[in-house]
């Protein structure tokens, strides 16, 4: 069965930013179907629109589906998976959060209701959360909290800030290696 990777970007981003294109090429070279979404209205994101987008663009969920979320894409992906109530293969979240960010109140609507972490843990057998200790957008403590709530394997690195291209992060071998470890 073909493994499928779905990548959801964050606030103000799109499929051609950051390390997304680099990762897609490498995964496709390994014969892994990879789709990077262009989420609607990423500069003024709406949680319902993002949920509906996921519902419309992911035809079927099963244990061969894996997800990668970056920043806002993490909670958006988790909300989609929570409502889908289907077991998947795994998830990797970078600079994620599942609580209101004091510096980004425009994203509060994504956190109006708490996630059901118990259900998500049952649905997602393989869980990895990656953070950089110098993240200047999402305080690293929010990502640590997410990892703890998901009982995820937590990886903290230094020097990657928020994993953005404008910060020099256009390749992410650590993530690539984690994906291969997860699906093999």
Q: Are strands 126-132 and 153-157 parallel, antiparallel or unpaired?
A: parallel
H or E stretch including 50? Answer: helix 47-57
Q: Give me the catalytic one of 42, 95, 132, 135.
A: 135
Q: Which two tokens stand for residue 10?
A: 């964050």
Catalytic-residue membership of 134: no
Q: Give me the catalytic one of 9, 18, 70, 162.
A: 162
Give all strands of the β-sheet with 4-8 in edge-to-edge order.
33-36, 4-8, 65-70, 90-94, 126-132, 153-157
Q: Give me the catalytic one of 42, 71, 95, 132.
A: 71
Q: Which residue has the tokens 């869980």?
A: 127
Catalytic-residue membership of 15: no
CB distance 99 to 142 below 8 Å: yes
Separation of alpha carbons 178 and 62, rounded Å:
20
Closest CA to 72 of 48, 49, 42: 42
CB distance 68 to 5 below 8 Å: yes
Separation of alpha carbons 40 and 43, rounded Å:
9
Residues forming the active site: 71, 135, 162
């Amino acid at each position: 069965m073909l493994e499928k990777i779905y990548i959801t970007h964050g606030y103000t981003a799109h499929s051609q930013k950051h390390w997304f294109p680099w990762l897609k090429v490498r995964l496709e070279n390994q014969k892994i179907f990879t789709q990077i979404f262009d989420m609607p209205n990423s500069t003024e994101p709406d949680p319902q629109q993002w949920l509906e987008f996921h519902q419309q663009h992911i035809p079927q969920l099963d244990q061969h589906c894996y997800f990668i979320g970056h920043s806002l894409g993490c909670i958006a992906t988790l909300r989609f998976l929570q409502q889908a109530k289907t077991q998947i293969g795994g998830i990797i979240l970078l600079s994620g959060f599942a609580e209101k960010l004091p510096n980004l109140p425009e994203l509060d609507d994504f956190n109006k209701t708490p996630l059901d972490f118990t259900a998500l843990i049952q649905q997602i057998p393989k869980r990895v959360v990656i953070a950089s200790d110098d993240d200047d957008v999402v305080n690293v403590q929010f990502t640590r909290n997410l990892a703890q709530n998901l009982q995820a394997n937590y990886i903290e690195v230094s020097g990657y800030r928020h994993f953005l291209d404008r910060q020099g992060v256009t390749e992410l071998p650590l993530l690539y290696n984690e994906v291969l470890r997860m699906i093999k």
